[in-house]
Homo-oligomer: A and B are copies of this chain.
Amino acid sequence: MTLKLFELVGAEDTRPFSPFCWRIRMALAHKGLDAQLVPWRFTEKEAIAPYKSEKVPVLLDGDHAVSDSWVIANYLEDTYPDRPSLFGGEGGRAMARMLNWWGDIAVVGAMFPLIVADIHDHLRPEDQGYFRKSREARFGKTLEEVAAARDSAVAGFRKGLDPMRLTLRSQPFLGGAAPNYADYIMFGGFQWARAISPFKLLAEDDPIYAWREKLLDAFDGLARRSAGYPV
């Protein structure tokens, strides 16, 4: 068994920062699977073209290539069924589909304007042009204009996390007593932010803050050992 994971980095190979790649890093650790990590940058389209993908994560399992974090998580669950479950059964797999969309929108999407300018600053100069152009087109504003609003915009981001916050008031993890893929979906976003931005996304008395601390410590501090800012 040889697993290889292409994951997004910026100027430094040792600062992986894609929320979607982090979902899979945590899922691999949950399954107790080792993978060789292959640093990949936004502009290196040709490196993953053979695997029919334009984005990472891309997972190679021997000769088999899988892309898209949701598809990869399902692949790992189905291919390694004797290892700890990512979903806790078929009901959990189905419900995680919606939590995945929620995570894309309310965590990753909502946090993006708060950290986008910091992402830019962590890219290699030759990658900054592509990033600025594509992201400014998406926002219809300069990165600096987007960033300027973040001190007031963070309140809306935090409010949007209410369904997650209320859940963590009555159970330690979204997956129940222990974390599962539902947690890694959301944590991927926070780890992405931590990797490249000093901005304080959460108040210290927020139950989500305490939950994030536990995920940073999980798997012998896998996520905390990766390059990042204090949270």
Copies in the complex: 2
The interface bits of chain A over 109-143 (1 if a CB of B lies within 8 angstroms of the residue's CB, else 0) are 00000000000000000000000000000000000
> Does A49 make an interface contact (CB < 8 A)?
no
Contact, CB under 8 Å: A176 / B101: no
A171 cross-chain contacts in B, Cβ below 8 A: 94, 97
When chains A and B are docked, how far (Å) is the Cα of A96 from the Cα of B99? Answer: 10
> Does A46 make an interface contact (CB < 8 A)?
no
When chains A and B are docked, how far (Å) is the Cα of A88 from the Cα of B88? Answer: 9
Q: List A21-71 residues whose CB lies under 8 Å from chain B.
A: none
Contact among B88, B90, B95, B173 with A99 in the assembled complex (CB-CB below 8 Å):
B95
Task: Tell me the smallest distance from the CB of A175 to a CB of chain B, in Å.
Answer: 5
Most-contacted residue by chain B among A98, A106, A164, A174 (CB, 10 A): A98
> Does A2 make an interface contact (CB < 8 A)?
no
The interface bits of chain A over 86-106 (1 if a CB of B lies within 8 angstroms of the residue's CB, else 0) are 011111111111110110011
> Does A180 make an interface contact (CB < 8 A)?
yes
Task: Tell me the smallest distance from the CB of A79 to a CB of chain B, in Å.
Answer: 18
Contact among B87, B101, B163 with A91 in the assembled complex (CB-CB below 8 Å):
B87
Contact, CB under 8 Å: A85 / B91: yes
> Does A9 make an interface contact (CB < 8 A)?
no
